[in-house]
């Protein structure tokens, strides 16, 4: 049976596009069956529509509380019976109830080398700290902000003269490479859990995640 992925997004959908490309090429390990946005006019909704993928808009501004929004969001996501829920630029902090409902099948990508720089403004923080490298981390989502078990990281050197925008652009290129790979690992059963520890192919995943190596 084909594995099912639900994508949650808020913006232009560039990471969703990379996942969609992998799916169309047969390298994702499953198919994207539903794309949900909390923002009207999100570019990712147009990408999904053009690809013939079902979409849903759940405008968070119409909800009095975060809990009521997440309840409706969870119901829509559950209707697709997903094997994996992927956050692709979804700019909402999810409630503990939502995260627990999809525990170990909820994945996110964060633009830093976690555990460094959870939260926002990651690229500027790396520059301000004088770091030699930045990067991105795919991780499972838990109740701790950007604190779930890392799966895969890509490192990007910081060049003299970089600003937050130039660094972000190079990191984003790596995000588009590693996210489909991590999703494939989940959907094809290469990621498993034993006694609370995350394993890949039966061996422990390093605390900061596997380090991406370009297969080419």
pLDDT of 216: 57
Taking only the tens place, the pLDDT of each residue in 127-149 is 999 999 999 999 999 999 899 99
Taking only the tens place, the pLDDT of each residue in 40-89 is 999 999 999 999 999 999 999 999 999 999 999 999 999 999 999 999 99
Taking only the tens place, the pLDDT of each residue in 164-184 is 999 999 999 999 999 999 999
216 within domain boundaries: no
Q: How confident is the model at residue 213 (pLDDT cuts 50, 70, 90)?
A: confident
Sort residue 146 into left (φ over 0), alpha (ψ -120 to 50) or beta: left
170 within domain boundaries: yes
Taking only the tens place, the pLDDT of each residue in 119-129 is 999 999 999 99
Tally the domains of the chain: 1
Domain containing 175: what range? 4-211
25 within domain boundaries: yes
Query: pTM above the 0.85 mark?
Result: yes
Residue 74 near residue 98 (C-beta atoms within 8 A): yes
- Catalytic residue ranges: 110
**CATH code of the domain covering residue 8:** 3.40.50.170
């Amino acid at each position: 049976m084909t594995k099912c992925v639900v994508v949650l997004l808020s913006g232009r959908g560039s990471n969703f596009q990379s996942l969609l490309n992998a799916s169309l090429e047969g390298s994702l390990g499953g198919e994207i069956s539903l794309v949900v946005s909390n923002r009207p006019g999100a570019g990712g909704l147009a990408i999904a529509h053009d690809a013939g993928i079902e979409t849903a808009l759940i405008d968070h501004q119409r909800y009095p509380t975060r809990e009521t929004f997440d309840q409706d969001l969870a119901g829509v996501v559950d209707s697709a019976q997903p094997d994996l829920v992927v956050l692709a630029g979804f700019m909402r902090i999810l409630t503990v109830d939502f995260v627990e409902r999809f525990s170990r099948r909820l994945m996110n990508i964060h633009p830093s080398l976690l555990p460094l720089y959870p939260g926002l403004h990651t690229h500027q923080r790396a520059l301000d700290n004088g770091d030699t490298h930045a990067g991105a981390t795919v991780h499972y989502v838990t109740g701790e902000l950007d604190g779930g078990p890392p799966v895969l990281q890509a490192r990007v050197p910081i060049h003299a003269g970089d600003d937050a925008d130039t660094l972000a652009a190079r990191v984003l290129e790596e995000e588009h490479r590693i996210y489909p790979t991590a999703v494939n690992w989940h959907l094809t059963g290469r990621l498993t859990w034993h006694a609370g520890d995350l394993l890949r192919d039966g061996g422990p995943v390093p605390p900061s995640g596997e380090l991406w190596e370009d297969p080419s």
